[in-house]
Structure 1
Amino acid sequence: MKSTTTEPLPCIGVVLAGGLSSRMGRDKALLPWKGRPLIEHQLTVLSDAGVDDVRVSGDRPGYHGIADAQPQAGPLGGLASIAETLPGDVDLLVIPVDMPLLQPGLLQRLRTERPRARSLCFVGHVLPLRLRLDADSRNRLLALLRHGEPRERSLRALQAAICNEELALSAAEAAQLTDCNTEMTWSEVSG
């Protein structure tokens, strides 16, 4: 008798750490957070959320980072480079390096709720993101990277192309999604 349940796909955690940190004025991935670099904290948060493996998007040799094959293409370029290293279908659980308040429990929600969603994020936020990486999403990702209009080369455009779904957030959960792009925000969060 054939089973009606399907095995969940492997879930790979991805820390987006390839940006220029231009608004911050210094490398966000190396900012000190609770006694260690922020990138290490984010890798631990992903591991604690129960992913099967973790990857770093960006030229981060000390963290086995995967450099963007198409430089200056933003998070989309980083995801495309990660996708090239992963055979077959997987779910990606993608977080930015500059969101230090993220907790594993919130990421577990994103990882496990609505298992059939091809793309899933929280209402009002592009990241964190769960993305089903399959032939269709890979093709759409590459097509968007070839697009001439920079605004069309975005995570938001990818989410729209593959019918992104959203999860509601409580106020406490929403506070975890503070991204530290500027020195001012970093001071508020880390102070």
Structure 2
Amino acid sequence: MIETLTALILAGGRSSRMGYDKATIMLDGMSLLDRAIDLAHQAGATSITILGRPDHPLGVADNIQYGGPARAISAWASGLQKPTQALVIPIDMPLLTPEILSLLIKEDSGGYFEGHYLPFTAHVHPGTAPDAQRIQDLLRIFGVRKLTLEGTLLDKFTNINDPQALKKLLALQTRE
């Protein structure tokens, strides 16, 4: 039986399209990294690991710097000592909510939403050390179930990858 929920926060990318570290972007008085940590706590994570952040107290270095999220998750999985439910949260989706994540968490086989490989949950067992280069491959290897997403929730999957996306998000928030 899997009793732990470990949040894996993906924070190790180059942020080349943004031009600076996305983890430091401030939104409503919190950095995107702090928002992701807070979201993980609200979703019920019993532990949090920040992939690609060896300088953070909760962080670990990527085994291949800038090798991508799938490789970082694979490296994490290779060190597991007991079965774990992983909740994978990207740093650059600041509108995700605990309610959305709970839909994934309660899936027995893990889950992701159709059209969005991130976030996802997966039940990962020791000895599962996939050498995946793409998130889609991990989802298949871990046996994660594809879920249908309600249209009203689509805006919560806004991804902040470049200055234009950030500007658009900030403009929307000012209107609200």
Asked if TM exceeds 0.5, the reply is: yes
1:168 is matched with 148
2:18 is matched with 24
2:39 is matched with 45
1:133 is matched with 124
Q: What's the secondary structure of 1:59's corresponding residue?
A: coil
Q: Which has the larger radius of gyration?
A: 1
Shift of 1:103: 0.6
Q: Give 2:50's aligned amino acid.
A: V
Any idea what the Cα deviations from partners look like across 1:112-153, whole Å, max 9, x if unmatched?
1x21x1x410111100010111146x23x23x3xxxxxxxx1
Q: Give 2:115's aligned amino acid.
A: G
Matches within 5 A, 1:17-166: 17-112=11-106, 114-115=107-108, 117=109, 119-135=110-126, 138-139=128-129, 141-142=130-131, 144=132, 153-166=133-146
C-alpha change, 1:85 and 1:64, in structure 2 (3 Å) is farther
Structure 1 segments of 4+ aligned residues over 4 angstroms from their partners: none
Q: What's the secondary structure of 2:49's corresponding residue?
A: strand
For residues 41 and 60 of structure 1, what CA distance do their matches in structure 2 show? Answer: 18
Number of corresponding residues: 171
1:150 is matched with none
Q: What's the secondary structure of 1:73's corresponding residue?
A: coil
Using the TM superposition, name which of 127-136 and 81-90 deviates more. 81-90
For residues 59 and 8 of structure 1, what CA distance do their matches in structure 2 show? Answer: 26
- Alignment partner of 1:184 is 2:170: no
- Which stretches in structure 2 are left out of the alignment for 5+ residues? 172-176
C-alpha change, 1:80 and 1:135, in structure 2 (3 Å) is same
For residues 102 and 118 of structure 2, what CA distance do their matches in structure 1 show? Answer: 14
Q: Give 1:58's aligned amino acid.
A: G
TM-score (norm 2): 0.89
Larger strand percent: 2
Task: Give the aligned CA root-mean-square deviation in angstroms.
Answer: 1.7
Shift of 1:60: 4.4
- Which stretches in structure 1 are left out of the alignment for 5+ residues? 1-6, 145-152
TM-score (norm 1): 0.82
Q: Is the 8 A contact 2:123 2:142 kept in 1?
A: no
